[in-house]
Amino acid sequence: MLMSARASVSFTKTARSNSCRQDQSIPSIVSKLSRSSKSNAICGQRLRQTFKRATSKPVSTPIAASKPAIEAEEYVDVAPTTLIREDGTPDDSMRVRFEKMIREAQNTICSAIEELDGVEFMEDSWTRPGGGGGISRVLANGNVFEKAGVNVSVVYGKMPPEAYRAATGEGVKSDEYIPFFAAGISSVMHPWNPMAPTMHFNYRYFETDSPDANADGAPRAWWFGGGTDLTPSYCFKEDIKHFHQTLKDATDKSDPEYYQQMKEMCDEYFLIKHRGERRGVGGIFYDDKNDKSPEHCLELATNCASAVVPAYVPLVAKHKDDEFSEQQKEWQQLRRGRYVEFNLVYDRGTTFGLKTGGRIESILMSLPLTARWEYDQKPEEGSEEAKAMEYYKNPPNWLEDL
């Protein structure tokens, strides 16, 4: 039986206001520290080790003894002009500039998706007593997208003493929490039509301060991270090449060597280890980025975020009305099951957020509305599904090998 893409669905939504909005899932932001100097390298390595130990515990095991890492959110009707704490932070600081970039990106991307789908995003906005907050925009049961979300957040928090001691290498016992700042934008798009691919992106900035507010030298460490990746159920080579080429064009503006490095990191990161296959066909991914100046790293993140719409939207527009069979819809649901497995088992951001009291609706925004699991399911040899599985298991160089 052939079906066309889902027709218009009647769905009550809260139209977002025209002012800038954002939300986020702190999870992906606080995964690890990096290195801009020898001391930062040691700091980042130790903090990553502490993070891995913490996230390797069962979900039911608390990792903080007394204080939550993040304050509870307070919902507001209209998002403030800025989520940056009113503490005299200069307008030209990286905190302010990065928040401005991700809020502009959220507006641009949401507008492009709304134009394609014909349905507006609903929006939640919140702040936190000690500064920061977020804006979640979600489109569910649309004409083109089953679920799409674009979240932005700014977070002020404190790392537990064990993370601080691991990061600094202090031998003296300390009960001080290390303050941190994090800002990021994250998004996932799940179309109805199995011929149209799912897409995810995330770009983030992180700083740590000194536990002593009067100490010199804050931030003690900083890094950028992010990436954009594609998860198609059916692999159209020309579409995947377009996606990768657009990302390469964006990263080439900062450094011609970035694309291949980030492509390989993406393939490695999104491996579903217990399945021996990737979540999709990759894209770019980077983390611990502070080996260049903050200006360079901000430019890289800005160029990559700006590439999301031209890399992805034309692919959905091309396939949103394709005919498909019930069997092909079932394959899409199986691949979404793989998406869920990766996010809940391996994704560092999701794991961290669930264990530190982050906003649950933002953390799990990336999950599809529907998914499917079947016992010992294997695609028929020679089928389009089998060809796709080969790409998931053995990712080619999309710009050269095909």
Q: Verify whether residue 244 is a known catalytic residue.
A: no
**Structural Rg of the chain based on CA atoms:** 21
Q: 122 and 365 in contact (C-beta within 8 Å)? A: no
Q: 215 and 260 in contact (C-beta within 8 Å)? A: no
Tell me the C-alpha distance between 367 and 179, whole Å: 30
Tell me the C-alpha distance between 69 and 204, whole Å: 18
Q: 137 and 110 in contact (C-beta within 8 Å)? A: yes
389 burial via Cβ count (<10 Å: 0-12, 13-18, 19+): middle
Cis peptide upstream of residue 232 (ω within 30 degrees of 0): no
Nearest Cα to 276, choosing from 383, 380, 392? 392
Task: Name the β-bridge partners of 157.
Answer: 70, 180
Other Cβ atoms less than 10 A from the Cβ of 212: the count is 10
Q: Catalytic residue among 190, 200, 242, 244, which?
A: 200
Provide the 3-class DSSP secondary structure of residue 191: strand
Tell me the C-alpha distance between 211 and 218, whole Å: 10
Q: Which helix (H) or strand (E) element contains residue 222?
A: strand 221-231
The residues annotated with a catalytic role in the active site are 200
